[in-house]
Structure 1
Amino acid sequence: MKFFPRERRFWLYHGAAMGFIAAVTLLSILLFGRLDASNLANTLAWTAPYTLAVLGFRWLYLRRGWAGLAMGRLIPVVIGYSSLSGVAVMAAVAAMVMPFFWTQISGGRADFDAPSFLLRNILSNGLQAQLFISAWAFVYISAAAAQRAREGEVQNLQLQMSLKAAQMSSLTNQLKPHFLFNALNNIRFMIHEDGDRADAMIVALSELLRYSLESSQQSKTRLNQELAIIEAYVSIMRTQMEDRLDFRLNAAPALMSCLLPPMVLQLLVENAIKHGLDHLPQGGTLSVEVIDAGDKLRLLVSNDSPLNAATTPAGQGLGLGLPNIERRLHLLYGERAALGIKSTPGHFQVELSLPKEFS
């Protein structure tokens, strides 16, 4: 963030505001006083310190995060800043102009009380400068708020598009012929061996597909819903992998109503199986752990992996990939969310850190 903005539109608006203020000032002098060289010089000299004053407000507004203040707290901040800077502006104008017109101002009198005159002039004109600086500040606050609203709308649209793309990609992943063939083939054989288990697999498969479609309509879902669909997915994969999949879930009941982006945790579980455990002849362990970290929710997905997994690019084969998941988290939470990866020979772990929100 720079003190002097580079946006051309900002300077166009600021120049228009300066022209309006100069016109109002000159008009008031014509109506209630006398336009002479001294008044004209004051009007012209006033431009530079006034510009520095309002740019100083803009810099503090952005640097100190005043946009997050409630209006009840922001108004005193604006009034306080404009009062101090108004006096500073008029002091600067006096220092620039009065030395050239001192004889005219003092009338050549030896007993002229210069300190008293300067104080009255700076304070009286400082009130006018304060009003103009306050007006500029409130206009800028309104314009900045409108711009944030527009950016929020754009981000919301981007998020919706990202979520829909994520759901479509996830659904495409799940609907791959290989996955469907294996699932349906296992169900076909299971019907003759264990009807109840075949029925459970059909229910799990339908629940998985239904959740994939329905979750595209929402930006967040409850943890218990996401974990339920993970268990449905794992139950299908357990049948295909037989005894090679050891699944462990650890989540406190008090966290079940926490909110998180739909399908993110499921995609990580799917990735752990497809690109970790599925490549181990003896299988391995997949664990999902949900940790209460104060105002944060930590989600850990860990799995055994081939010994050369540390050299495998993170998220390879995930479909949208870890970078896309990170993008979705950024759109939803900004800097409040984080994604971390720990990869060592034989073990792979992804950790999500989200703000703790309840439905």
Structure 2
Amino acid sequence: MRQPSFFPHDRQFWIFHGSALALGFAVSALMIYFTGYRVASKLLASTSWMPMYTVAVLCFRWLYLRRAWKQLSMGRLVFIAVGYSAVAGIAMGVLVVLLVAPPFIGDVRAQYQALGMVFDPWRYYVDSFVEQAVQSQLFVCIWCFIYTSVTSMRHIRETELQTLRLQNGLKEAQLSSLSNQLNPHFLFNALNNIRFMMHEDVQLADRMMTSLSEILRYSLESSRHDKVSLRRELAIIHQYVGIVKIQLEERMDFAIRIPEQLHGALVPPMVLQMLVENAVKHGLENLQRGGRLAVDLADRDDCLVFEVCNDTPQQAPGKTDGMGIGLQNIERRLKLLYGELAAILVERSAGKFKVTVTLPKEYAK
């Protein structure tokens, strides 16, 4: 782990710190000017105090980062900040007094004698120390609290941002995983259809292979996007239905009723295609005389309602309704993309199976 540097490389840090020092020095200079008392010693004290103050707060920052104090509870952090500022205040008070008091002690003694007062050098040192120590402790403590507050807020924002990134990454991984579960099933079905036709009609098998290549290209490209235009999805459905019709020897009656003005709407890729494939695999392929498959779309205010209805064999006694793995995967994809705004409903009646999917109406910007 990279160790923190003692001197910050953040330009903004030095701008704020320098501004605070300049403001503090200006206030001190004004107070000294208006009081007119021990001007030279006060100015020297203020000037020498600033680099000591800078070193003190930089030490706190370095310890804060090196010892990972941001992970401590707020109570312990307050205790540490107050204790550190007390120690720093005492050290700065001693240094300032030792630097400033000796050169001016003769002038102070002369002022006391001129006023007819008894001068006690030890009291002079103690009073100067207390003044400098209290002031230093107060300013260091304020700086520590401001620094810890700003750092904590920045850490919270970074944590929230990292959490959002992890959530988005998990969502993308889940969507990719669900899409990858759907695509192999579709691929194997299509290849089986082509293998079947190669023994019947080579030219038809060649056209089916061309259609399959278009479907696979779309599948690979669309896996990189959460949503595609309904127009592209319908084109792939027609390609798929064309392959299936050849295999079923025209025993499939397919109808699709979607208004032209809705072809630009956005939908999750491969969802409608998988609903059609599910209807073929679990419905029409099991009917000796074939059956009907219809895809309808209703425009309802802010929602698009898709209905995929197909003929199906009569349900066996004792068999319960439910969703297969393909429909369950579609439901999970819709929840990941839209949350509660999307819904999927499965209905079974005598010889009919219908899946209704409700999506928010969206268009490309």
TM over 0.5: yes
Gap runs ≥5 in structure 2? 1-68, 90-144
Q: Are 1:282 and 2:296 matched, yes or no? A: no
Is this contact kept in 2: 1:290–1:300, CA < 8 A? yes
Residues 131, 342 of structure 1: alpha-carbon distance in 2 compared, 3 angstrom cutoff: farther
**8 Å contact from structure 1 (residues 291, 299) kept in 2:** yes
- Given candidates 196, 208, 212, the residue that maps to 2:219 is 212
Contact 1:183 1:236 in 2 (8 A): no
CA contact (8 A) 1:309 1:348 kept: no
1:1-359 matches, cutoff 5 A: 15-24=72-81, 140-176=156-192, 179-188=193-202, 191=203, 201-308=208-315, 311=319, 313-316=321-324, 320-359=325-364
* Inter-CA distance 245–148: structure 2 relative to 1 (3 Å threshold): same
Q: Give the Å deviation of 1:207.
A: 2.5
Secondary structure of 1:262 counterpart = coil
The TM-score with structure 2 as length reference comes to 0.56
- The DSSP-based 3-state class of the residue aligned with 1:281 is coil
Q: How far apart are residue 161 of structure 1 and its match?
A: 3.1
Report how far residue 265 of structure 1 moved.
1.2
Deviates more, 1:164-173 or 1:287-296: 164-173
> Distance between the aligned counterparts of 2:167 and 2:332, measured in 1?
16
Cα-to-partner distance string for 1:80-131 (whole Å, 9 max, x where unaligned):
xxxxxxxxxxxxxxxxxxxxxxxxxxxxxxxxxxxxxxxxxxxxxxxxx999
Question: CA distance change for structure 1 residues 307 and 217 in 2, over 3 Å: closer, same or farther?
Answer: same
Distance 2:320 2:235 in 1: 30
**Correspondence for 2:95:** none
Whole-Å separation in 2 of the counterparts to 1:211 and 1:27: 65
TM-score normalised over the length of structure 1 = 0.57
Check whether the contact 1:167–1:216 (CA below 8 A) recurs between aligned residues. Answer: no
Distance 2:189 2:219 in 1: 11
**Whole-Å Cα distance in 2 between the matches of residues 209 and 143 of structure 1?**
40
* Alpha-carbon separation, structure 1, partners of 2:241 and 2:307: 16
Larger radius of gyration: 2
Q: CA deviation at 1:284?
A: 1.7
Query: How many angstroms does 1:245 deviate by?
Result: 1.2
Q: Which residue of 2 aligns with 1:69?
A: none
Cα distance, 1:331 vs structure 2: 2.5
Q: How many residues align?
A: 242
After TM superposition, give the deviation of residue 349 of structure 1 in Å. Answer: 0.9
Change (3 A) 1:161 1:280: closer
Evaluate the alpha carbon distance shift between residue 208 and residue 139 of structure 1 in structure 2; reply closer, same or farther with a 3 A threshold. Answer: closer
What's the secondary structure of 2:223's corresponding residue?
helix
